[in-house]
Amino acid sequence: MRTLSRGLLAASLTLATLPGLAATIPFERYTLPNGLTVVLHEDHGLPQVVVDVDYHVGSKNEEVGRTGFAHLFEHLMFEGSKNAQEPYDHYTEPAGASNNAFTTEDHTNYYLQLPSHQLELGLWLESDRMGYFGSVLKESKFLAQRDVVKNEKRQRFDNEPYGSRYEEMLKRLWIDHPYRWPVIGSMADLDAAKLPDVKAFFDRYYAPNNATLVIAGDFNKVQAKSWVQRYFGDLERGPEIDRPFSSDKPLTKEMTATLVGSVQLPGVFVTYRAAKMGDGDAFPLDLLANVLGGGHSSRLYRKLVTEKRLAQSVEVSHWSQEHGGLFQIEAIAAPNVTPAKLQAAIDEEMTAVRHDMVSNRELEKAINQTIAAQLFARERLLDRAQALAASETFFKDPGMVARQETVYRGQSRADLLRVAKQYLNPNARVVLTYIQGDETK
C-alpha cells in the first residue's frame, strides 16, 4: 500500500533533544528549458541519495464524477514504462533501493532511496515514467490497479471503524470546492473510470513543467547535473496548466451527523475550516493545535482524559492546504460516556480558548515543540528532500521551509486568541458523532 500518514511528534520532544539538526537546508535550484525545476541538496554524511519527484497535481485537480485519478496514478506509475517495462521493484530491489509515493489534495510525490552509486539508475527510472509512461498504459494494467485501489478503499475506509469520517466530514465542510471529495475518490467514480479519461489526466499534469526533481544526499553535483540533462533534458514540455480558483462559499451553520457503524466506543469528530498555505494565520493555528492537543499536558487531553475521564483518546491537528485548511478535534469516548457528554466537554474547552489568552507557559511550550517538530522532520534525508520539493511546488522557493522558525517565534498570545475567535466558530463547523450499530442514518 503506497501511502504516507500524517505523524504527530511525541509530547516529550523539545528543542534540547535535537542539538544536531540544522536549521537550514543548503540547496541549489535551476530550471531546464522544458520547465522541470531541479533542486540539489548535498549531504555526504552517508553513502545514500534520494531522488524525489513532486508533481503539482492532486485530488483537487479532478472533476466531479472523475475522482480518484491522482491517487490511481500513484499505483499505476510503479507498473512499468516504455523503457523500464517491468514493475519498479524489479529494478530497485537488486540495487538495494526502496521506492514509494503519496498523494494529497494538492500534490503527488514519488521517491527513491538508493545507495550513492545507484543515482543514475534512479534518474533513469523517474525520467522514463515522466516522459514515457502514458504511451504504454494499457487497459489490463489500468483495470488491475483500479481493483487494487478499490480494495484499498474498502480496507482503509469503508470497513474500518470510524473509517468514513474524513469523507463524511469533507462533503459537509466544503460546499462548492474541489476538496469536497477524498483523495482516494469515490467507489462509483472508480467503477466508471475509463482508460482514455485516465490517460488524458496523465498527459495534462505529469510533465516536466509541472514537476520538481530533488536530488539529495551523497553525490557529485557536476555528474548529477550531467545525468539530469541526459535523462530529463529531452522530455517534452506539457501543456500550460490553468489553475483558476475561487474560494468556497462561507459555512454559515453547524453541520452535524450521527453515523452508526461497527465501533466499540462512541467518537466525536469536530472540524473547522482553517488557513491555507501561505496565510500568516496558519502559524498561530499550528500553535493553538499544540496548546489544545500537544501531548498529555495539553488542555483537551488533561481535561477529557486525565481529569474527567470522559475520553479514551483525543487528538488535535491543524494542516494547511493550497486552497484551504482544516482544524480538527478527534475524541474517542471512554466506556459508558455518551457522545453528548463528550462533546459538551470539548465545547467547554473551545469556548475557553476563544475567550481568554493562553498562558505564557503554554505559548512557550507550543512554540518549542512545534519548532522541534519542524527540525525533527528534517533529520532524515528523505524528509529534507520532500520539504524542499513541497516548498518549491507551492511557493517556488525551496528555502522557505527553513525560515518558519522565525515566524513561529514571532507569534504572541494575542495572535492565538485572534485566530481562535476567527476560525473556531461553533456556528461554522462540522460535528460527526459515531455510535455503535448496523447502519448509517
Output the pLDDT for position 315: 98
Q: What is the mean pLDDT of the chain?
A: 92
pLDDT reading at 7 higher than 50: no
**Residue 144's closest CA among 87, 98, 185, 197?**
87
Residue 18: the pLDDT is 34
Which H/E stretch holds residue 222? helix 221-232
Q: What is the pLDDT of residue 377?
A: 80
Where in the sequence of the chain do the CATH 3.30.830.10 domains occur? Answer: 25-232, 255-436
What pLDDT digit, counting tens, does each position of 217-252 carry? 999 999 999 999 999 999 999 999 988 777 899 999
Q: What is the pLDDT of residue 109?
A: 98
Closest CA to 274 of 328, 316, 314: 328
Domain 25-232 belongs in CATH node 3.30.830.10: yes
Residues 332-337, mean pLDDT to the nearest whole number: 98
Render pLDDT for 110-165 as a digit per residue (tens, 0 to 9): 999 999 999 999 999 999 999 999 889 999 999 999 999 999 999 999 999 999 99
Instruction: Give me the phi and psi of 148, to 5 degrees please.
Output: -60, -45
pLDDT digit string (tens) for 399-417? 888 788 899 999 999 999 9
Give the whole-angstrom CA distance, residue 92 versus residue 88: 6
What CATH code would you report for 255-436? 3.30.830.10
Q: Is residue 8 scored above 80 in pLDDT?
A: no
Q: Is the pLDDT of residue 19 over 70?
A: no
Tell me the pLDDT tens digit for each residue of 163-202. Answer: 999 999 999 999 999 999 999 999 999 999 999 999 999 9
Q: With cut-offs at 50, 70 and 90, classify the pLDDT of residue 439.
A: low
First CA to last CA distance, the chain: 31
Cα 74-77-158 angle, rounded to 5 deg:
30
For residue 15, is pLDDT > 60?
no
Residue 11 pLDDT grade (very low, low, confident, very high; cuts 50, 70, 90) = very low
pLDDT at 218: 99
CB 394 within 8 A of CB 282: no
Dihedral angle, C-alpha 362, 365, 367, 373, nearest 10 °: -140
Mean pLDDT of 371-393: 92
- Tens-digit pLDDT profile for residues 51-67: 999 999 999 999 999 99
Q: What percent of the chain shows pLDDT beyond 70?
A: 94
User: Which amino acid would we find at residue 173?
Assistant: L
- pLDDT, position 321: 95
Q: Which DSSP helix (H) or strand (E) runs through 311?
A: strand 311-321
pLDDT score, position 50: 99
The pLDDT assigned to 140 comes to: 94
pLDDT computed for residue 437 by the predictor: 85
Cα angle 201, 203, 209; round to 5? 115
pLDDT above 90 as % of the chain: 87
pLDDT at residue 1 greater than cutoff 50: no
Q: What is the pLDDT of residue 6?
A: 33
CB atoms within 10 A of CB 85: 11
pLDDT digits (tens, 9 = 90+) for 244-300: 777 899 999 999 999 998 999 999 999 999 999 999 999 999 999 999 999 999 999
The answer on pLDDT for 17 being more than 60 is no
Q: Return d(Cα 332, Cα 265) in angstroms, integer.
A: 7
- Give me 413's grid cell: 498570545
According to DSSP, the β-strands at 267-273 and 429-436 are: antiparallel
Instruction: Count CB neighbours of 140 within 10 A.
Output: 10
* Longest Cα separation, the chain: 65
Mean pLDDT score, 312-316: 98
d(CA 215, CA 232): 13
